[in-house]
Every structure is written in structure tokens, then in C-alpha cells.
């Protein structure tokens, strides 16, 4: 029994003795796991601590040298050196060190030589038109961009407006940048320098952008041109466009054509045709950022409301009119604003001081609902003549509130082409009734949208459905205002003697059979 117990004890001792002999106390530790070198290369010190002698197990690449490939246990100091990296790509390798049964890795990385330069011709020449160019950059580092001229407003780096002024440096990683070049509306060549740079590496490169001058001559925003001069100290008519971008501001181009066209339409019917010599006509250049009304980037903030009504920034319109230096402050001003959109609409703004604005889109409806018809109705009728609408849309009596509106304005000389009596001896245009040349003048019920309780001078007129004809009372109101502003004494007998009631019911311009809603009601501002 004692023999068996002794044998069992020996077996246990041998078992535990065998287990203890398999344990290892080997270790190897480096002072760092990785070492980074610049492209210049150089030597860096590494500390090795290990339990037994150590050995470099890896083969060295040709750009790495080491002052010792083996060492004893304890602490060793070695120097690892890299040569200059003259390539434009980074390089790396791993070194394995072994001590006893343990090993560890050291990662070596080396940056490439820094590259930052424009890949293409360093001088880019462009024509005068809008264009987008892509610039290729050779780089393996981040970079910032700036323009040499801080106030440049014709070169824009896409998605980074701030960086081109030099106020905000932005790190770019891509090797292609897009640049927007705006149209050169002058006749002179212009240039600037685009600079890319990295301050850390002290690297930069410069590219020159040259843009030729336009072969056309462009108007500048705020310029004005006198299209017509009055024979005497006459009436001032100003025309300026809305929603016309720089592309349409060439001298002799579309803007000038539309403004001149508006002027010719204004004088195309009586009495403006006969009294044209009393008008000074000015064209003011108004450049919009966008030609799309919906963009909200037009000069006078035109908006289309319900029906055919239009709103605008009237203060800005008069501000632009004031750019005309020779305008007299004591003279009332009529401003026609052709709106660069094909739409049937129109609204006039009338002010108690005699100023007025006519908003006239470029409608391409059939006559008389086209652009010319809108000019006749809004500019010639409402804005200058201060005439009231003669539409009939409601088959009922005009409300007292509407009557009172007209009567209040008639005290100031506005809207004298309607009356609230059919008595030929008392009606506003009684002086024309019974004269042979005015045999169609009488009291025709209906006007200001209502069928009953209000009377107009003739069966039809421009203030009814835009036809190219103002009735006699309307013509008298227009001529009287021309003479008053011009400071000329002019009686109703003078008017009758010189009046030309030119009207042909079969006029080819009156061809539209399409029913359209009334143009926007004038906005009266006392």
C-alpha cells in the first residue's frame, strides 16, 4: 500500500514538473510601432528591449539601412536610415524582429516628394462669352486657391465663392477644379492670376487667365439714353425693362429693341401720334441677375398675382428713373416697364403727385391683346391719361362705394372718361356732343366693370378692350395733360380744331376673338 502511494506521488510531481518546463518568459518590445519619414529621408533611433538576443528577420528594401541587425538581451539602440524619396508616391515596409520565441513588427513609411502644379498651359486665353473651364492640377498634397486680384467679380471657382477672394482658404483634395467665367461685356481684354499654394510645403503655382473683350458694345446697368427730345420743355417718358439679363444688353440688341418698340407703340395711335413732339423719351438700362420672373432675381421684383394683376418694387423703379440727370424735380414722370415674359397681364400704379408706372409684359396674344395693346391700355390709357377702365363684366348696378372711389380721384383730375349721369347737357364730355366730327359721342351705359349706373362717351374704346383707339373724352384728357405739363395754354376749342379722331372699326389690329379677363385694376396711391 505504501509502495502504491509513493508511485502515485512521483507521477504527480513529474507531471507538474513537465508543465513548468514548457512555459516561456521570452519578450521583445520596440519603443514605437511605426516610424514616418519625410521625402528627404534621414535616420531615426529605435530602442529594443528583449529577454534574449534579438535578430532582424526581414530583408531590407534598397531605400532602408540599419546600423545593426542583431543584438543581445536587455536594451539595444539602433538607427534606421531611409534615403530620399524622389518619386511622387509614398512608400512603406515592415521590419520583423525576433527574440527567442517572440517577434514584433516595425512599420516604416516615407512621404513622396511634394507635388503641386498646374498640369496644363500656364496661360489660358478665352473669348468674351460665358464659359466654364476645368483646370487639372498635379498634386499629392492638399492646397488652397486664391486670385491675385481680391475684387475680381468675373471668375468664380465652382462651389467655393469665398476662397477666390483670399478671405477663406480651403483645402482641396481633388486634382480638377471647375471655374465659371462670366461674359466680358466691355470691349477691353481683362486678365487675372489663379494661385494654388500649400504653406506647409512652401509650394505654389500660378496660372494666368486672359479673356478677350467683347466684339459687341454693352450697356451698363444704370446707363440711360435719350431716345427722343421734345421740341420744347415737354413731358418726360421713361422706359426701362424688367427681367433682362446681361446677354440682352448689347447696344443695338434685344433690350434696346424692346424699349424702342415700346416707345413706338406708345405713339402709334392718337392723340399721342399727333402730339409726339411734346415728349422727351429716355431709355434706362436695368440689368437683372436672371431673366426668369420666378427666380426672384429680377431688378424690380416683379410678381404676378391673381388674374392679370402685377406687383413691383416701385421705389426701385423710381430710383432707376432718377439716374436721368436732366429730369426736373417739379415735372411728373411716367415710367413704362416692359416685362421680359410672354404673358397677358398688366397693371398701372398711379400716384397723387402725378407720377405713374405701367407694367407691360411682352404678350404675344393676337391684337389687340398683344404687347402693343397692353402698352396702349396700361401706359397710354392708365399711366399717362389717368383714364378709368370701361370694361363691363357684371350685369348689375355699380355700387356706391365704387362711385365714391371714382369721384374722389376725379377731384384730382383722374378718371374723367366716366360719369354717373346720362344728361347730355351735364355729362363731362358735353362739349363734344352735337359736333359733326363726333357724331358717335353720347352716353353709353356701362363702365368700371358694371352694366348700370355709370356712362362712357362712346360705344367702344381702348379702355374697354384694348383696341387702338381712345374715345374723344379720353383724347381730350390726354392732350390736356400734355399741355398742362408742358406749360402751354390750350383750350377745348384748340383741341377740337386739332383733334384727329382716327378710327377704323375694321382695323387689322383688332383681330382677337379670344375672351380674356380684364387687365389688372390700376393701383391708386394718394
Please indicate, yes or no, whether residues 63 and 126 belong to a single structural domain of this protein. Answer: no
Please indicate, yes or no, whether residues 147 and 79 belong to a single structural domain of this protein. Answer: no
C-alpha cell recorded at residue 267: 405713339
| Residue 512: pLDDT band with limits 50, 70, 90 | low
pLDDT per residue as tens digits for the range 243-275 = 999 889 999 999 999 999 999 999 999 999 999
Task: Look at the block and give the residue holding cell 480651403.
Answer: 170
Please indicate, yes or no, whether residues 45 and 103 belong to a single structural domain of this protein. Answer: yes
CA distances from 493 to 88, 94, 320, 443, 483 (A): 95, 111, 39, 21, 14
The continuous run of DSSP H or E covering 20 comes out as: helix 2-22
C-alpha cell recorded at residue 407: 369721384
Q: What are the CB-based long-range contacts (under 8 Å, 24+) for 464-467?
A: 464/389, 464/390, 464/391, 464/392, 465/368, 465/391, 466/368, 466/369, 466/373, 466/374, 466/376, 466/377, 466/519, 467/368, 467/373, 467/507, 467/509, 467/510
Please indicate, yes or no, whether residues 133 and 205 belong to a single structural domain of this protein. Answer: yes
Please indicate, yes or no, whether residues 98 and 176 belong to a single structural domain of this protein. Answer: no
- The answer to the question of residue 13 being in a domain is no
Please indicate, yes or no, whether residues 96 and 166 belong to a single structural domain of this protein. Answer: no
CA angle 491, 492, 494 (to 5 degrees): 65
- The answer to the question of residue 129 being in a domain is yes
Of 179, 211, 243, which residue constitutes the final position of a domain?
Answer: 211
Q: Which residues make Cβ contacts (< 8 Å) with residue 243, sequence separation at least 6?
A: 288, 290, 291, 292, 293, 298, 299, 302, 339, 340, 341
pLDDT per residue as tens digits for the range 79-115 = 999 999 988 788 999 999 999 999 999 999 998 888 8
What is the domain range of residue 142? 116-211
- The answer to the question of residue 78 being in a domain is yes
- The answer to the question of residue 126 being in a domain is yes
- The answer to the question of residue 95 being in a domain is yes
- The answer to the question of residue 50 being in a domain is yes
Question: CATH no. for residue 135?
Answer: 2.60.40.10
The pLDDT assigned to 17 comes to: 42
Mean pLDDT calculated for residue range 485-507: 84
pTM of the full structure: 0.69
DSSP-assigned beta bridge partners for residue 360:
338
Distance CA 526, CA 355 (A): 11
Contact 192, 209 (CB under 8 A): yes
Mean pLDDT calculated for residue range 498-512: 64
pLDDT per residue as tens digits for the range 17-45 = 444 444 678 999 999 999 999 999 999 99
Number of structural domains in the chain: 2
Average pLDDT, the chain: 89
Please indicate, yes or no, whether residues 121 and 186 belong to a single structural domain of this protein. Answer: yes
Please indicate, yes or no, whether residues 88 and 161 belong to a single structural domain of this protein. Answer: no
Question: Strand ranges (DSSP E) for 234-289?
Answer: 235-240, 279-284
Amino acid at each position: 500500500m505504501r509502495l502504491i502511494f509513493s508511485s502515485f506521488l512521483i507521477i504527480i510531481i513529474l507531471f507538474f514538473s513537465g508543465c513548468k518546463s514548457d512555459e516561456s518568459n521570452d519578450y521583445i518590445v520596440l519603443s514605437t510601432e511605426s516610424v514616418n519619414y519625410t521625402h528627404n529621408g534621414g535616420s531615426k533611433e529605435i530602442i529594443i528591449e528583449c529577454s534574449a538576443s534579438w535578430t532582424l528577420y526581414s530583408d531590407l528594401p534598397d531605400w532602408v539601412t540599419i546600423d545593426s541587425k542583431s543584438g543581445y538581451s536587455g536594451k539595444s539602440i539602433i538607427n534606421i536610415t531611409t534615403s530620399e524619396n524622389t518619386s511622387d508616391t509614398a512608400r512603406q515596409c515592415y521590419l520583423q524582429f525576433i527574440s527567442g520565441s517572440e517577434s514584433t513588427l516595425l512599420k516604416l513609411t516615407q512621404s513622396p516628394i511634394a507635388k503641386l502644379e498646374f498640369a496644363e498651359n500656364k496661360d489660358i486665353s478665352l473669348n468674351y462669352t460665358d464659359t466654364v473651364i476645368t483646370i487639372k492640377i498635379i498634386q499629392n498634397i492638399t492646397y488652397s486657391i486664391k486670385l491675385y486680384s481680391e475684387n475680381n467679380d468675373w471668375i468664380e471657382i465652382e462651389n467655393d465663392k469665398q476662397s477666390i477672394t483670399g478671405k477663406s482658404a480651403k483645402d482641396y483634395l481633388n486634382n480638377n477644379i471647375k471655374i465659371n467665367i462670366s461674359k466680358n461685356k466691355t470691349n477691353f481684354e481683362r486678365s487675372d492670376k489663379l494661385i494654388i499654394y500649400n504653406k506647409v510645403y512652401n509650394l505654389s503655382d500660378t496660372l494666368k487667365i486672359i479673356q478677350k473683350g467683347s466684339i459687341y458694345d454693352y450697356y451698363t446697368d444704370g446707363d440711360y439714353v435719350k431716345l427722343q427730345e421734345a421740341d420744347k420743355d415737354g413731358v418726360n417718358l421713361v422706359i426701362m425693362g424688367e427681367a433682362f439679363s446681361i446677354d440682352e444688353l448689347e447696344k443695338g440688341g434685344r433690350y434696346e429693341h424692346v424699349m424702342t418698340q415700346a416707345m413706338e407703340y406708345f405713339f402709334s395711335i392718337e392723340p399721342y401720334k399727333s402730339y409726339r413732339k411734346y415728349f422727351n423719351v429716355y431709355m434706362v438700362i436695368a440689368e437683372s441677375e436672371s431673366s426668369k420672373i420666378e427666380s426672384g432675381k429680377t431688378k424690380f421684383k416683379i410678381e404676378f398675382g391673381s388674374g392679370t394683376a402685377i406687383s413691383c418694387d416701385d421705389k426701385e423703379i423710381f430710383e432707376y428713373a432718377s439716374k436721368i440727370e436732366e429730369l426736373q424735380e417739379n415735372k411728373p414722370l411716367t415710367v413704362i416697364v416692359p416685362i421680359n415674359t410672354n404673358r397677358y397681364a398688366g397693371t398701372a400704379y398711379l400716384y397723387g403727385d402725378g407720377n405713374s408706372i405701367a407694367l407691360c409684359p411682352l404678350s404675344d396674344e393676337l391684337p389687340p391683346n398683344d404687347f402693343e395693346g397692353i402698352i396702349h391700355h396700361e401706359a397710354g390709357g392708365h399711366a399717362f391719361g389717368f383714364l378709368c377702365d370701361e370694361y363691363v363684366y357684371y350685369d348689375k348696378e355699380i355700387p356706391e362705394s365704387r362711385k365714391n372711389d371714382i369721384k374722389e380721384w376725379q377731384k384730382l383730375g383722374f378718371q374723367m372718361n366716366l360719369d354717373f349721369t346720362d344728361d347730355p347737357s351735364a355729362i363731362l364730355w358735353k362739349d363734344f356732343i352735337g359736333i359733326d366730327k363726333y357724331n358717335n359721342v353720347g352716353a353709353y351705359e356701362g363702365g368700371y366693370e358694371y352694366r348700370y349706373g355709370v356712362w362712357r362717351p362712346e360705344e367702344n374704346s381702348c379702355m374697354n378692350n384694348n383696341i387702338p383707339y381712345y374715345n374723344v373724352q379720353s383724347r381730350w384728357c390726354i392732350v390736356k395733360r400734355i399741355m398742362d405739363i408742358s406749360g402751354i395754354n390750350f383750350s377745348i376749342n384748340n383741341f377740337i380744331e386739332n383733334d384727329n379722331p382716327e378710327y377704323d372699326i375694321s382695323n387689322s389690329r383688332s383681330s382677337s376673338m379670344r375672351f380674356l379677363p380684364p387687365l389688372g385694376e390700376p393701383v391708386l396711391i394718394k
